[in-house]
Amino acid sequence: MLKILTVCGLGQGTSLILKMNVEQVLGDMGIQADVEHTDVSAASSMDADYIITSNELAESLQGHKAKVVIVNNYFDMDEINEALKDNIEAS
């Protein structure tokens, strides 16, 4: 199963909202994944297939083996949908 991290600065509110929205989009795509929300410093040492975060935080995650997917508006379902469709393949 895919492992996906949703990441914000503190790992609290916005990453949780992004996690719920990502789970909804993945469900619509028929993709099962283990989605976890966390902060940027914890994410750098966690194992994952994909990391979904903002453009600003993506720079801190360069060098991570996970593919980093950029979503700048964590509330915009269209942007999340497009980002996931462009970057995540069903396994």
Show which residues are catalytic.
Answer: 8
d(CA 38, CA 53): 10
Report how far apart, in Å, the C-alpha atoms of 82 and of each of 21, 42, 44, 56 are.
12, 26, 24, 19
Three-class DSSP category at 57: helix
Q: Which DSSP category does 14 fall into?
A: H
